[in-house]
Amino acid sequence: MTPIRVGLLGIGTVGSGTFNVLRRNQTEITRRAGRGIEITMVADLDTARAKAVVGDSARVVADAREVIANPDIDIVVELIGGYGMARTLVLEAIAAGKHVVTANKALLAVHGTEIFAAARDKGVVVAFEAAVAGGIPIIKALREGLTANRIQWIAGIINGTTNFILSEMRAKGLDFGVVLKQAQELGYAEADPTFDIEGVDAAHKLTLMSAIAFGIPVQFDSAHVEGISKLQAADITYAEHLGYRIKLLGITKRTSAGIELRVHPTLVPAKRLIANVEGAMNAVVVHGDAVGSTLYYGKGAGSEPTASAVIADLVDITRLHTADPRHRVPHLAFQHDALSATPILPMDATVTAYYLRLQVTDEAGVLARIAGILAENRISIDALLQRPNDGGAVESAEARTDVIILTHDTVEGGMNRAITQMQALPTVLAPIVRIRKEELS
Ligand code: HSE
């Protein structure tokens, strides 16, 4: 059988990894796919760089539309990134009847509904294993391996840059800004790291996992997104004293009222496997009613790890190329006419536990007043720690102390009210630190 022909749009880090792995493992991949998979055309504005990677084995052009217009190309791999040109080109490739493989989480989290509908109308596949957690086959696991389960929750470390920063902050007791600078010098963090450090990249990936897990449309706009740029070294240390690590988690949960979809720094018990995922690695825990908790761990970025996911999609499409589209695995795991309208809950309605740190004057009655406010808001205290504060933001002669409180699960709206009331006390001397806590048991 003739090889299936692939056109790459963009041949940077992931594109060159895809080319190299396909060439290196061609025999093995052909034995699996049932026919060869060849990159025959590449579009990249930097044609010299593209030619340096592919040599004479593929035609190199500067204009992506030449790839899309080529009737010999069966699959278009979009590795351009972003929402703008990538969206236009993906929709044009679909309209031209090409299957699409993409690593573009931002595009699908924001425009997925439109793109999947266009693909369905044309009877083509849009595959996106590489968009979530790089080389970890989490889309395959959610869509196929766990298909028997009613999935209850997912919690993931799905951004390597922030996990690297948090690991360094904890190991070396450094502040966020110092570690971010080091991460940029080492090439872990982008020159503009906003999407990573503010949780946006993780929220894109979480949005896709949530849709597949619960059979809902992709709804990035409804996600709560909070990054790590305001985290202080002191809280990482206090968390450790209390038996917790702080991780930037993407959490999506099914509740009786709706679906939680949130990215934020989270205290996780240090004894959990996921709390021990360090450096730039990714990990995702999926809890299903039948299987219980399962954990997926690996490299969430990088040339060949991400290429591994891109090629897995190419093999899937190659195997199913001639199959009736109705018999393919649906894009979002559930049949498109069986997606549910279960709402994404506003953050106020989310239920979780909390770590609070209050810098207070060290005098009689202060703790009683704080405990009173928590009680009035029906918030139950789980643990309490008091430590002298020998520095910090407040210039004052009065004795002050850090009070750290762990709470049991409570509704976020009540916690917001309690924080506003506590913050108004004259004995609370600095902005209250609030970090959510999940036991993941
Ligand atoms: N920038 C991401 C990370 C990888 O740091 O994990 C691509 O999504």
Residue ranges of domains in the chain: 4-135+303-338, 138-299, 351-437
The average pLDDT across 57-76 equals 98
The predicted structure's pLDDT at residue 243? 97
Question: In the predicted model, is pLDDT for residue 395 greater than 90?
Answer: no
Query: Which residue has its alpha carbon closest to ligand 1 atom 7?
Result: 301
Q: Is 202 in the pocket of ligand 1 (CB under 6 A)?
A: no
Q: With DSSP H G I counted as helix, E B as strand and the rest as coil, what are the percentages for the chain, rounded to 5?
A: 40, 25, 35
Grouping H, G, I as helix, E, B as strand and the rest as coil, residue 407 is strand
CA of 202 to the centre of ligand 1 (A): 8
- Binned at pLDDT 50, 70 and 90, residue 292 comes out as very high
User: Is the domain covering 351-437 a CATH 3.30.70.260 domain?
Assistant: yes
Bridge partner residues of 386 (DSSP) = 403
| Identity of residue 416 | N
- The set of residues, in sequence order, having a beta carbon less than 8 Å from that of 61 and lying 6+ positions away, is 41, 42, 43, 47, 67
Average pLDDT score over the chain: 96
Identify the DSSP state of 189: S
Best residue for ligand 1 mutational test, from 196, 248, 263 (most atoms within 8 Å of Cβ) = 196
State both tokens at 225.
């997104």
**Atom 4, ligand 1: residue with shortest CA distance:** 301
Q: Mapping DSSP to helix (H, G, I), strand (E, B) and coil, where does residue 251 land?
A: strand
> Beta-carbon neighbour count of residue 335 at 10 Å?
10
- Cβ of 163 closer than 6 Å to ligand 1, yes or no, is no
Q: What is the CA radius of gyration of the chain?
A: 24
Supply 433's token pair. Answer: 């630190």
Residue 191, exposed/middle/buried by CB under 10 A (0-12, 13-18, 19+)? exposed
- Confirm if 184 and 164 have CB atoms less than 8 A apart: no
Average pLDDT of the segment spanning 214-220: 97
Residue 390 has pLDDT above 70, yes or no: no
- In this structure, whether the domain defined by 4-135+303-338 belongs to CATH 3.40.50.720 is answered with yes
Distance separating alpha carbons of residues 223 and 286, to the nearest angstrom:
18
The yes-or-no verdict on residue 189 having pLDDT over 90 is no
* Encoded tokens for 137: 């086959």
Poorest-pLDDT segment among 85-99, 172-186, 249-263, 404-418? 172-186
- Checking if the pLDDT of 394 tops 70, the result is no
Contact 180, 161 (CB under 8 A): no
* pLDDT value of position 326: 84
Q: pLDDT tens digits, residue range 91-147?
A: 999 999 999 999 999 999 999 999 999 999 999 999 999 999 999 999 999 999 999
Model confidence pLDDT, tens digit, residues 251-269: 999 999 999 999 999 999 9
- Whether the pLDDT of residue 393 is over 60: the answer is no
pLDDT of residue 392: 52
Distance CA 374, CA 424 (A): 14
Distance 312 CA to ligand 1 centre (A): 19
| CB 159 near ligand 1, within 6 Å | yes
What's the pLDDT at 419? 98
User: What fold characterizes domain 138-299?
Assistant: Dihydrodipicolinate Reductase; domain 2 (3.30.360)
In this prediction, residue 397 has a pLDDT band, given cuts at 50, 70 and 90, of: low
Burial 380-404 (b: 16+ CB within 10 A, else e): eeeeeeeeebeeeeeeeeeebbbbb
C-alpha span between 224 and 210 (Å, rounded): 13
Quick one: which H or E segment has residue 102? strand 99-102
Tell me the CA–centroid distance for residue 33 and ligand 1, in Å: 29
Q: Active-site residue numbers?
A: 205
Tell me what pLDDT residue 187 has: 79
Tell me, using a 6 A CB cutoff, whether residue 266 lines ligand 1. Answer: no
198 CB less than 6 Å from ligand 1? no
Q: How far is the CA of 387 from the centre of ligand 1 (A)?
A: 37
CA of 104 to the centre of ligand 1 (A): 11
Q: What is the pLDDT of residue 225?
A: 98
Note the pLDDT of residue 172.
96
Closest CA to 273 of 249, 253, 244, 295: 295
CA distances from 185 to 82, 108, 188, 189, 199 (A): 24, 30, 8, 8, 21
C-alpha neighbours within 13 Å on the C-beta side of residue 43: 20
CA of 340 to the centre of ligand 1 (A): 29
Is residue 31 predicted with pLDDT exceeding 70?
yes
Sheet of 59-61, strand order: 59-61, 37-43, 4-9, 75-78, 99-102, 126-127
Which ligand 1 atom minimizes the distance to the CA of 195?
A: 1
The share of the chain scoring above pLDDT 90, in percent, equals 92
Q: Where are the beta strands (DSSP E) in 256-321?
A: 259-269, 281-288, 292-299
| Burial class for 175, CB neighbours closer than 10 Å (0-12, 13-18, 19+) | middle
User: Which ligand 1 atom is nearest residue 105's CA?
Assistant: 8
8 A C-beta contact, residue 160 and residue 284:
no
Pocket-testing residue among 201, 205, 299, ligand 1, by greatest number of atoms within 8 A of Cβ: 201
Residues in the chain: 441
CB of residue 306 inside a 6 A radius of ligand 1: no
| Fold match flag (4-135+303-338 vs 351-437) | no
Q: Which pLDDT belongs to residue 110?
A: 97
Q: What is the pLDDT confidence band of residue 396, given thresholds at 50, 70 and 90?
A: low
Average pLDDT over residues 373-402: 83
Average pLDDT over residues 303-310: 97
Q: Is the dihedral of CA 230, 236, 239, 245 positive or negative?
A: positive
CB-ligand 1 contact for 250 (6 Å cutoff) = no
pLDDT given at position 262: 98
